[in-house]
């Protein structure tokens, strides 16, 4: 089973995760983050949603979130071991 099939199976057969949408104030905050952090709006929507839902961390394999999370007071969690990350050209 590939990743797409596994995710679809999870969505169809389990009650979690609980899907949340951005509230009006959080959308505005995402645009402020984009300006303040000089970063694309799409990533800033994730940051804003995490803050809206009072998350303590963001779990992602996107290494670009490391600095962003620090700047807004979130923990950055990457499930890929650092030894593996170092093998990718895009790793900074």
Identify whether 11 is part of a domain. no
- What are 18-37's pLDDT values in tens digits? 778 999 999 999 999 999 99
Identify whether 66 is part of a domain. yes
CA 79 to centroid of chain Cα atoms: 12
Task: Name the phi and psi angles at 17, rounded to 5.
Answer: -75, 165
Number of structural domains (the chain) is 1
What is the structure's pLDDT at 30? 97
Distance CA 45, CA 53 (A): 12
pTM: 0.76
Q: What integer best gives the mean pLDDT of the chain?
A: 89
Identify whether 2 is part of a domain. no
Identify whether 9 is part of a domain. no
Q: For residues 68-82, give the mean pLDDT.
A: 93
What's 23-39 look like in SS3? CHHHHHHHHHHHHHHCC
What is the structure's pLDDT at 79? 86
The parent domain of residue 26 ranges over 21-85
């Amino acid at each position: 089973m590939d990743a797409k099939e596994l995710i679809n199976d999870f969505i169809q057969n389990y009650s979690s995760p609980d899907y949340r949408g951005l509230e009006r104030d959080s959308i505005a905050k995402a645009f402020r983050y984009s300006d303040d952090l000089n970063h694309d709006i799409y990533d800033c929507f994730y940051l804003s949603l995490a803050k809206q839902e009072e998350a303590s961390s963001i779990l992602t394999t996107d290494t670009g979130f490391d600095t962003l999370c620090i700047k807004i007071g979130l923990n950055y969690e990457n499930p890929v071991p650092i030894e593996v990350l170092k093998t990718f050209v895009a790793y900074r």
